[in-house]
């Protein structure tokens, strides 16, 4: 059976639904450079978390702030964290950071499932499991994700991996969590550990009781939460503003951040422009459409993004007006062109926009690069939620 036929069989199995796998892996050189630069970015980001705010608009359960504070004191920080980056054709290791996804598993399971098909040893799932085994001797695991979520199949791949290594693992909806004062129950059965999905899903609307149960169990130290609650703070794109402000950092760290974090500004009336000059930010942004991307600070999945170079002036003004109606809830980021590559898809080779995602895991307190995947799509907002395809990244020796 060819790789393409095996990919097609994998898609038909429903185990990676609704993923659109690409028909060939991607390659990047200079793994060590990606690892070193990414670790520096995450070191800086971690230092900002004690000063970050919990996401507004949540049904915040009692004890959440106490749990977050304990996680910070314990130095648990970000857990598994993904950096979504633009890698220029001529210098891939000179990547530009688009955003941070901390504590959610999006494409972790898919990446390893595809890596097996393309002949590379999986890295993310074993690293995830070994990290959790170091935190708890218990072997009863619940993967918590809203039923019908686009990443539910990812959780199922994770659960399969744990089950293959002696764990009792199950995938449950947040509404199926209950804390009885002694143990966290997932669908009525006690569990020792949890891997949660999106921070917001646990604390809004119909899911709020499940989130409250998980917080209560964590507060009582009755369960280990693999991706700590504090990691949810790191998803706030407003943190990219201090990351892209060199004067906040030591000269060595500032040099790395200046090279890899595009200038980002929270959208308010009076701020500073890309060069640090005091301006009326809105007036500046109205005239900087072709150099700017506008994003919701707490957005995900590519939703709500307006890419200035790809919209009309009228559409750009409308997007800015919407951002101004919610001061502090949007960020403006300096645009870096996405590379366009010939990508192998099931129906042939075609040109597509490409971005990469780098996965990091803390190892003895230092973020370590444990794997990567690439995404490709015909439109410039590249995301699996927007129909983008996915392939694992193999790190190769430097290109000649």
The residue ranking higher by pLDDT, 42 or 303, is 42
Answer positive or negative: Cα dihedral of 67, 123, 240, 254: positive
* pLDDT (tens digit per residue) in 8-19: 888 888 777 767
Find the Cα–Cα–Cα–Cα dihedral 104, 325, 245, 45, rounded to 10°: -20
Q: Is 191 left (phi over 0), alpha (psi -120 to 50) or beta?
A: beta
For the stretch 91-137, pLDDT in tens is 999 999 999 988 776 788 889 989 988 888 888 999 889 988 988 99
Mean pLDDT score across all residues of the chain: 88
Residue 57: the pLDDT is 56
| C-alpha count within 13 angstroms, C-beta hemisphere, residue 340 | 7
Q: What does the alpha-carbon distance between residue 191 and residue 137 come to, in Å, rounded to a whole number?
A: 12
What percentage of the chain carries pLDDT values higher than 90?
Answer: 48
DSSP 218-262: HHTT-SEESS-TTHHHHT-GGGHHHHT-GGGS-HHHHHHHHHHS-
Question: What pLDDT score was predicted for residue 400?
Answer: 34
Mean pLDDT of all residues in 216-224: 95
Residue 100 token pair: 């941070």
Catalogue all structural domains in the chain, each as residue range(s) with its CATH number. Answer: 3-234 (no CATH), 263-334 (3.30.1490)
268-320: pLDDT as tens digits: 766 666 677 777 877 888 899 999 999 998 777 667 799 999 999 999 999 99
Return the residue matching tokens 């280990």: 224
23 pLDDT band (50/70/90 cuts)?
A: confident
Residue 329: helix, strand or coil by DSSP?
Answer: coil
Structure token pair of residue 204: 């809004």
DSSP states of 71-124: HHHHT-TTSSEEEEEE--SS-TTS-EEEEEEES--TTHHHHHHHHHHTT----H
CA-based nearest residue to 76, from 275, 225, 262: 225
What pLDDT was estimated at residue 58? 64
Per-residue pLDDT for 399 more than 50?
A: no
Whether 9 contacts 1, CB under 8 Å: yes
- Using a 10 angstrom Cβ sphere, with 0-12 exposed, 13-18 middle and 19 or more buried, the burial of residue 266 is buried
CA-wise closest residue to 42 among 11, 80, 3: 80
Specify which residues 332 forms β-bridges with: 265, 294
Give the model confidence (pLDDT) of 328-367 as tens digits: 889 999 999 999 999 988 778 889 999 999 999 887 778 8
């Amino acid at each position: 059976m060819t790789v393409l036929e095996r990919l097609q069989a994998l898609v038909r199995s429903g185990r990676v639904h609704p993923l659109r796998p690409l028909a060939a892996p991607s390659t990047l050189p200079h793994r060590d450079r990606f690892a070193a630069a990414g670790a520096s970015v995450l070191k800086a980001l971690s230092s900002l978390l004690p000063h970050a705010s919990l996401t507004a608009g949540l049904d915040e359960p009692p004890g959440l702030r106490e749990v977050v504070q304990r996680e910070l004191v314990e130095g648990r920080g970000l857990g598994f964290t993904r950096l979504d980056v633009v890698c220029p054709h001529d210098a891939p290791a000179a990547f530009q950071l688009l955003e941070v996804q901390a504590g959610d598993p999006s494409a972790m399971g898919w990446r390893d499932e595809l890596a097996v098909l393309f002949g590379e040893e999986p890295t993310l799932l074993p690293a995830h499991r070994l990290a959790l085994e170091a935190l708890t001797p218990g072997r009863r695991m619940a993967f918590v994700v809203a039923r019908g979520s686009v990443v539910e199949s990812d959780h199922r791949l994770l659960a399969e991996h744990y089950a293959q290594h002696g764990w009792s693992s199950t995938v449950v909806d947040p509404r199926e969590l209950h804390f009885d004062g002694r143990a966290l129950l997932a669908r009525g059965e006690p569990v020792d550990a949890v891997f949660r999905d999106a921070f917001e899903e646990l604390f809004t609307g119909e899911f709020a009781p499940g989130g409250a149960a998980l917080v209560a169990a964590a507060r009582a130290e009755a369960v280990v939460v693999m991706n700590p609650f504090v990691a949810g703070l790191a998803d706030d794109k407003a943190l990219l503003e201090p990351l892209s402000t060199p004067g906040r950092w030591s000269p060595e760290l500032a040099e790395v951040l200046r090279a890899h974090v595009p200038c980002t500004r929270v959208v308010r009336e009076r701020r500073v422009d890309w060069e640090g000059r005091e301006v009326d930010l809105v007036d500046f942004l109205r005239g900087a459409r072709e150099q700017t991307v506008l994003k919701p600070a707490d957005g995900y999945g590519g939703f709500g993004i307006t890419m200035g170079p790809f919209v009309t002036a009228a559409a750009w003004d409308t997007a800015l007006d919407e951002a101004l109606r919610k001061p502090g809830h949007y960020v403006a980021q300096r645009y870096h062109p996405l590379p366009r590559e010939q990508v192998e898809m099931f129906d042939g080779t075609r040109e597509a926009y490409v971005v990469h995602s780098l996965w990091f895991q803390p190892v003895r307190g230092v973020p370590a690069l444990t794997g990567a995947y690439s995404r490709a799509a015909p439109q410039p907002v590249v995301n699996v939620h927007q129909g983008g395809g996915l392939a694992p990244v193999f790190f190769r020796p430097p290109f000649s």
